[in-house]
Structures are given as structure tokens and as C-alpha cells.
Amino acid sequence: MKLTSPNSHMISRNLLLAFCLLALAACGFQLRGATELGFKKLYLQKSNASALAKELRRSLTSSGVEVVATPEEAEMLLELSGESTEKNILSLSGGGKVREYELIYRVTIRLREASSELWGIPQLIEQRRDYSYDDTQLLAKEGEEARLYSDMRSDSAREILRRLNAINTSKPKAAN
């Protein structure tokens, strides 16, 4: 009968961990950092009271973009032209009680460069979430619904950043 010491288990665990980290580093994996956008100043045309506008301001600032107060100062203009929420019944119980809801969050944006007079075509960003409902847990389900809407706003802000990044990466680069 072979006895193993606790130290040998720790050594093999550390070797396995080191191998996994080495494999991740070798495959080129890296954590996603802040998005590098091709402009430094953006004018956000929407009320500051909007939760999406606040989330977007925070994301833009962390990406190194200054959100300016007037369109004249900006290199890029972003208009949040529409924001809406919707709640649909997905399923009912045999007794006619709601069992599942679908939440939908939509935002419409338009973009334009400060040097242009023409706005781009309106773009729709839509997020959907399903959740089960139980009327005996009303407060918990209301809190869950609020968290889901908050998550959808955050996902929409990230999608707007990806679209801003795609616009800038699709432009031809100037030759040096």
C-alpha cells in the first residue's frame, strides 16, 4: 500500500495550475480591456437623467473618450433617439395565472461625424430576457425584473461601444 503525503497533492495541483496558465498564455488569451475608439470627444444627445446615458457616459469615459457639453466641441455625435421597454406574457398555468414573462428593451441610436451634416441611418439595439413569475413572491420578482432591465441597459451600452468601434475600424487608415 502506497501512502501519499499532503505535500505531493499540493505539488501536483500547483503543477496542473501552472500547466493551465501556460496553455492559456500560449493560445493568446487575454482579458478584454477598454475599447480603443478612433475619436477622443463625443457629444451625447440625450437627457443626463436617462439610465442608459449614464451607463454610456461611464463606459465612454473608461475608454478614454471625453463626453463634451456641446456638439461644436465633439468629433462624433451620438443621438439616443428612442428608448422603450416592453413586457409580454410568455406562458400561463392551467389555472390562467402568468408563469413566464418576456422583457424587451429597445434603444434607437443615430451617429454622425462632426464634420458631416448628415446623420447615419437609425440603428435599433434590442435586448430580450425571459423570467419565470410567481405571484407569491411578488417583491422578489419585481426586483428580478428591475435587475434584468438594468442588465439589458448595460448590454445595450456595450453594444453601442462595439458599433462605435466598428465604424472607426472600417474607415481607411491614412498613409504616413
Residues in the chain: 176
Please give the pLDDT value at position 170: 53
Please give the pLDDT value at position 159: 95
User: Would you say residue 146 has pLDDT above 90?
Assistant: yes
User: Would you say residue 46 has pLDDT above 80?
Assistant: no
Where helices occur in the chain by DSSP H, the ranges are 6-26, 51-62, 138-170
Is the residue at 21 inside a domain?
Answer: no
Is the residue at 151 inside a domain?
Answer: yes
Please give the pLDDT value at position 16: 76
Whole-angstrom distance, CA of residue 162 vs CA of residue 127? 15
Task: Report the relative pairing of strands 76-92 and 98-113 from DSSP bridges.
Answer: antiparallel
Is the residue at 51 inside a domain?
Answer: yes
Among 91-105, 121-135, 154-168, the range scoring the smallest mean pLDDT is: 154-168
Is the residue at 9 inside a domain?
Answer: no
Please give the pLDDT value at position 158: 93
Query: Domain range holding 61?
Result: 34-170
The total number of structural domains in the chain stands at: 1
User: Would you say residue 31 has pLDDT above 50?
Assistant: no
Is the residue at 13 inside a domain?
Answer: no
Residue 109 pLDDT class (50, 70, 90 cuts)? very high
Residue 176 pLDDT class (50, 70, 90 cuts)? very low
Is the residue at 1 inside a domain?
Answer: no
User: Would you say residue 3 has pLDDT above 60?
Assistant: no
Is the residue at 156 inside a domain?
Answer: yes
Of residues 54 and 176, more confidently modeled: 54
User: Would you say residue 173 has pLDDT above 90?
Assistant: no
Q: Full-prediction pTM beyond 0.75? A: no
Please give the pLDDT value at position 49: 63
DSSP notation for 41-64: EEEEES-TT-HHHHHHHHHHHHTT
Is the residue at 176 inside a domain?
Answer: no
98's grid cell: 402568468
Mean pLDDT (whole number) for 45-72: 86
User: What's the CATH code of the domain at 142?
Assistant: 3.30.160.150
